[in-house]
């Protein structure tokens, strides 16, 4: 397939060459924050994860698109990432589940891509210098370099308002009612909750009073994109809800819960984006292999009352917290793991147990 030449430029001036693929914007350039993902499969789930809003995903695995795409693997109604970077993009996929090639999917949803890039070099650079903003495209190199210099990362930006549902909706028919605050909730997460509970998903802009008016047995805090420090309004809602209803948070929901409990967050150098991070449960001493996608984490020592329940065995990052008095707990990683391992799905059952017994005793 013939593709026009393209350039990728980071805002520190580092430049890569490749070819434009997917959607070709009229401006000839796309900007965002570059992050790398180390998963070997699940590219469609990764691309459609709302947590990537404002970011450009570089895949470390060299061959992407091998098994095509299917609506069954979509984690949102549309991709929210700014673009993707791939070494080799497969033109002819092979899978009985495939309904078409990945490039057609990218064009359908307006997602630009650059292929033929030395993603090993790009990954090494991001590991050494941290997540960097920049730009790529098929426009003139001078245009792309100028756009890269002006590109911004995710610090201080509220992406949640963009990706959250506009209207509440319900699903599931369990005997317990859970209200899920949608900060960018993944479809697999909704499915896991709806299998166990009667679920009402509400916009991130909801007030504590509106949540209480729904009469929930429990509240769930979803994953989502961007900097938790930019979401003061959401933290204040959680402060009002704490102690009135059991709460379970995942990813961004974990960070916001930590803030509501008096903690703070910080930005990791290049984040955790992959499907094989080892995490230890400090209470059971069991080790789980987890799927992760986050750039921010809870600051060690910042929690005033909550306890740490899980840690990342690669770098010691806090991966879970709990507060028995406030009847709440959260994890940084993704127990729904679509794609990825299913080691941590017991946490949804732990939430169910908390709602039924009002106890955070670990099973």
Annotated catalytic residues are 251, 334, 336
In angstroms, the CA 83 to CA 81 distance is 6
Where are the strands (E) in the chain, listed by range? Answer: 5-10, 15-22, 30-37, 55-59, 63-64, 83-86, 88-89, 112-115, 132-137, 169-171, 177-182, 198-203, 218-221, 247-250, 265-281, 287-298, 307-312, 318-323, 328-331
Closest C-alpha to 338, from 44, 36, 34, 38:
44
Identify the bridge partners of residue 8 per DSSP, sorted by sequence position.
Answer: 16, 136
Q: How many CB atoms within 10 Å of residue 62? A: 10
In angstroms, the CA 322 to CA 272 distance is 21
In angstroms, the CA 21 to CA 115 distance is 7
CA distances to 2, 5, 134, 206, 220 from 253, in Å: 43, 41, 28, 14, 8
Identify the bridge partners of residue 323 per DSSP, sorted by sequence position.
Answer: 328
In angstroms, the CA 95 to CA 200 distance is 35
H-only helix segments in 159-280: 160-163, 187-194, 208-213, 232-241, 252-260
Three-state secondary-structure class, residue 33: strand
What is the dihedral angle through the alpha carbons of 334, 337, 343, 347, rounded to the nearest 10 degrees? 50
In angstroms, the CA 24 to CA 111 distance is 8
Identify the bridge partners of residue 182 per DSSP, sorted by sequence position.
Answer: 203
Burial level of 299, CB count in 10 A (0-12/13-18/19+)?
Answer: middle
């Amino acid at each position: 397939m013939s593709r026009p030449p393209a350039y990728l430029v980071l805002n520190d001036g580092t430049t890569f060459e490749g070819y434009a693929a997917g959607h070709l914007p009229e401006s000839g350039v796309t900007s965002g924050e570059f992050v790398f993902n180390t998963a070997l499969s699940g590219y469609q789930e990764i691309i459609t994860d709302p947590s990537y809003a404002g970011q450009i995903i570089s895949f470390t695995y060299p061959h992407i698109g091998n098994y095509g795409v299917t609506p069954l693997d979509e984690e949102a109604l549309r991709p929210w990432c700014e673009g993707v970077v791939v070494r080799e993009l497969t033109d002819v996929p092979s899978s009985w589940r495939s309904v078409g090639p990945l490039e057609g999917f990218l064009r359908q949803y307006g997602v630009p891509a650059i292929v033929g890039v030395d993603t090993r070099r790009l990954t090494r650079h991001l590991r050494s210098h941290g997540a960097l903003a920049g730009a790529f495209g098929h426009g003139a190199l001078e245009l792309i370099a100028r756009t890269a210099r002006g590109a911004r990362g995710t610090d201080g930006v509220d992406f949640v308002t963009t990706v959250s549902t506009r209207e509440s909706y319900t699903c599931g028919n369990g005997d317990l009612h859970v209200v899920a605050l949608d900060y960018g909730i993944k479809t697999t997460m909704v499915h896991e909750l709806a299998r166990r509970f009667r679920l009402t998903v509400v916009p991130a802009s909801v007030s504590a009073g509106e949540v209480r008016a729904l009469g929930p047995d429990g509240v769930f805090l979803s994953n989502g994109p961007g900097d938790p420090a930019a979401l003061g309004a959401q933290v204040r809602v959680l402060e009002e809800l704490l102690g009135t209803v059991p709460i379970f948070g995942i990813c961004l929901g974990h960070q916001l819960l930590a803030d509501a409990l008096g903690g703070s967050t910080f930005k990791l150098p290049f984040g955790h984006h992959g499907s094989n991070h080892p995490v230890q449960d400090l209470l059971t001493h069991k080790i789980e292999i987890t799927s992760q996608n986050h750039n921010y984490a809870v600051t060690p020592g910042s929690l005033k009352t909550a306890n740490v329940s899980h840690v990342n065995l690669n770098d010691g990052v806090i991966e879970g917290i709990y507060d028995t008095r406030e009847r709440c707990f959260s994890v940084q990683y993704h127990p729904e793991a679509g794609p990825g391992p299913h080691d941590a799905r017991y946490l949804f059952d732990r939430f169910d147990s908390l709602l039924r017994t009002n106890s955070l005793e670990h099973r």
